[in-house]
Amino acid sequence: MDVSVKNLKTTGETALAALFAPSGAAASKALRQRAFDLFQTMGLPSRRLESWHYTDLKRMLANVAPRAATSAAANVDAEAGACVIRFVDGHCIGHSALPKGVTLRGLSDVLAQGDADTLGALYASVGSEDPVVALNAALADDGVVIDVAAGVTLDAAIILDFVSSDATARSEFMRCLVRVGAGAKLTLVERHVSAQASAQRHLALAVSVGAHASVSHVFEGVADLDVLLASLLVDVAAQGNFQSFALVSGGRLTRRQIWVRAGQATQVGLRGVSLLRGEQHADTTLVIDHVEPNSESRELFKHILDGSATGVFQGKVVVQPNAQKTDGGMKSHALILSDDATMDNKPELEIYADDVVCGHGATVAQLDDDQLFYLMSRGIPKTQAQAMLIEAFALSAVDFVEDEVQREQVMTFVRDWMMARGA
């Protein structure tokens, strides 16, 4: 008797599959069909898939919300010089004036045109073998493709502002590509700040950093979403520099997954702070693949967990045989504020070259009683003393946010989060 386990789909998987309706040129459709087939084979990831071991999406995404209808176009204002591109309920509704040297196309236009280079960057990127990245490729029919011309330095940031406004539960599927030309310089903000608690957001952001180009990416994940699946797919060409900082304190389930392909003599820095409480679950899983010699990568993540929250960090630094003189350092530190909070911390090195310097460290700790008593013995009440220590804990990661305004915003958020805890 032939029993096929593959056909046993969960309600969530069936609902997601029903949303598949690719449009556009034949080449576009073919790529999305391939991605859909991959998703159909793999299904939603569960603990059995190593890269999803601590986040059982099959179970956590049992109820899939319907897609939102198209949102009406609207005027979008710039913010202190920064260009804002706004998405509402999964649809791009407009953007403020584009800076010189920047062009933008909607995803549906790109799909209709079927240009091979762009499709390749969109769909054949790093991470494309992940079921959630594949699901996004299959279902995302909105998004933008942004090109920053070679040699252009943008003084103000480009902000991708993701908003959900629909009070009924909605699924959003978006895919964006930012290509930064050789020698160009850009700050790219991925903002998830305003949302309905019922929204389920699927986002893939591919970033292609040209030779000698420099990108500073800031992820603000503080919206109260039901689900945020945010994939960051990065390719850094020779001598390129990609730095990313993430603030995660969002909704019920946040999964950030990052793939970086580091070319020759590149610099990569991934850092972040997460602040979780209640039943929140936030997972940061990343892979840095050093494929050429002389590149450097640094990761530093600080997790602060209260209530019954769960934090997950899985980081893998891969050094390919050709990537001699790689310098890699990865750290993940968690601070547990309650008995019921959990942290799963898993750093890994996979090294196939012999002349490299790589290290990693992971810690899980509680607030230090001696430090707490010292502060209190000077008159500082317990809650304030805890806030000072937690701020100090987060600071060493936040210090890497280059933009002063962004850095201060992050610290303010950390302080407010602590104040809310004491209240």
Instruction: Summarize as ranges the residues that interact with other proteins (CB under 8 A).
Output: 369-371, 373-382, 384-385, 388-389, 391-393, 395-396
**Residue nearer to other proteins on the CB measure, 109 or 368:** 368
**Residue nearer to other proteins on the CB measure, 265 or 376:** 376
- What are the angstrom distances between the C-alpha of 75 and each of 94, 173, 271? 6, 22, 33
**Residue nearer to other proteins on the CB measure, 318 or 335:** 335
Asked if residues 281 and 313 have their Cβ atoms less than 8 Å apart, the reply is: no
At residue 191, the 3 state secondary structure works out as strand
Shortest distance (Å) from residue 398 CB to other proteins: 10
Kindly tell me the sign of the dihedral angle through the C-alpha atoms of 301, 306, 308, 309: negative
- What are the angstrom distances between the C-alpha of 167 and each of 92, 197, 334? 18, 8, 34
**Residue nearer to other proteins on the CB measure, 355 or 399:** 399
**Residue nearer to other proteins on the CB measure, 228 or 397:** 397
Shortest distance (Å) from residue 405 CB to other proteins: 21
Shortest distance (Å) from residue 330 CB to other proteins: 20
Asked if residues 115 and 214 have their Cβ atoms less than 8 Å apart, the reply is: no
Between strands 253-262 and 281-290, the pairing is: parallel
Shortest distance (Å) from residue 46 CB to other proteins: 39
* 408: amino acid identity, one letter: E
Number of Cβ atoms within 10 Å of the Cβ of 368? 12
Distance CA 297, CA 240 (A): 12
Closest CA to 16 of 50, 45, 44: 44
**Residue nearer to other proteins on the CB measure, 340 or 368:** 368
Shortest distance (Å) from residue 147 CB to other proteins: 40
Residue that has been written with the tokens 């892979």 in this structure:
287
- What are the angstrom distances between the C-alpha of 102 and each of 31, 125, 145? 27, 22, 10
Shortest distance (Å) from residue 245 CB to other proteins: 17
Shortest distance (Å) from residue 417 CB to other proteins: 16
**Residue nearer to other proteins on the CB measure, 339 or 354:** 339
